[in-house]
Amino acid sequence: MKVAVTGATGFVGNRLVERLNAEGHTVVVLTRNLDRGKRVFPTSAFPKVEVVAYTPLESGEWQAVISGCDGVVNLAGEPIAEGRWTPQRKQAILDSRKIGTEKIVEAIAQANPKPSVLVNASAIGYYGSSETVTFDETSPPADDFLAQVCQAWETAASKVKESSTRLVILRTGIVLGMGGAIAKMLPPFQLFAGGPIGSGRQWVSWIHREDLVNLILSALTQPNLEGTFNATAPNPVRMAELCTALGEVLNRPSWLPVPDFAIEALLGDAAVVVLEGQRVFPKQTQAFGFNYQYPAVKQALQEILHKV
């Protein structure tokens, strides 16, 4: 199988390329920074990985590399919670997903032969936030900024159906692994100053990185998997429960909460990502029969942190 991957140097994409390479597949890594891509995926360690420079918001010669690929995995997008949501940043967050996906779909339309499947990222921000409502793949979208971004993202991806390419949209929750959210939460716990963020009552719908990568691989290889799926574990937890489990695994206390105002001072409007949550269930993912390796959060954290 030959697979093109955007967002390949990111937290999820990096692991996906490692798995594809280890299983003997050919991978085309599309990256904005060619030097970085070659450092992350050196030929000596990744003999079947080709690193190609691309301009994600523009049409160009890079689009020709999609021809002959069996599948495309589109994970690219500006980070959501790594800075204040200025008007310029909000536009960059939207454009990186909407226009970036449009250019991938355009490349698929021009390809000969065409990829048989596009696996496109989305996010559970589609549903908005609530402490009381539960969500699954049939739930309607909210109308806040993140929900609007997700809807534009998914609408852009849906145009690939005009090329008779199978589409799988994965609405991803908080991805747990050695990096990402866990890397940001570890330091205070290691200093015996860890605790819940905000009220601790907000729901965290999460997934272990290995389960997410396995779900992407299933989407690439199983032709009967099509449509929209929540890429979350079947057991969402409240923030306080996540932090308690993290403290237990690290053998550290979990008693010092991070107040709302501290997060808001750092992130502004983007604080909504960590201060408000949603209880999301992977109804369609489970109906398909996907087998989670890490369905429980403490089990997931034990695997992630066993070397810490």
Domains of the chain plus CATH, in order, are: 2-173+207-232+281-287 (3.40.50.720)
Q: In this predicted model, what pLDDT tens digit does every residue of 29-54 receive, in sequence order? A: 999 999 999 999 999 999 999 999 99
State residue 267's pLDDT score: 53
Tally the residues of the chain: 308
**What is the spatial distance between Cα 58 and Cα 62, in angstroms, rounded to a whole number?**
10
Query: DSSP string covering 77-143, please?
Result: ---SSSS---HHHHHHHHHHHHHHHHHHHHHHHH-SSPPSEEEEEEEGGGG---SS-EE-TTSPP--
Structure tokens at 256: 């010092």
Q: How much is the pTM?
A: 0.94
| Per-residue model confidence as pLDDT tens digits over 200-251 | 889 999 999 999 999 999 999 999 999 999 999 999 999 899 889 989 998 8
Instruction: Give the ranges where the chain is alpha helix by DSSP (H).
Output: 11-22, 34-40, 87-110, 145-158, 180-190, 209-221, 239-250, 260-267, 272-275, 283-288, 297-305
Closest CA to 176 of 201, 202, 211, 203: 211
Compute the distance between CA of residue 100 and CA of residue 77 in angstroms, rounded to an integer.
8
Q: Which amino acid is at 113?
A: P
Query: How many other CB atoms sit within 10 Å of the CB of residue 248?
Result: 14
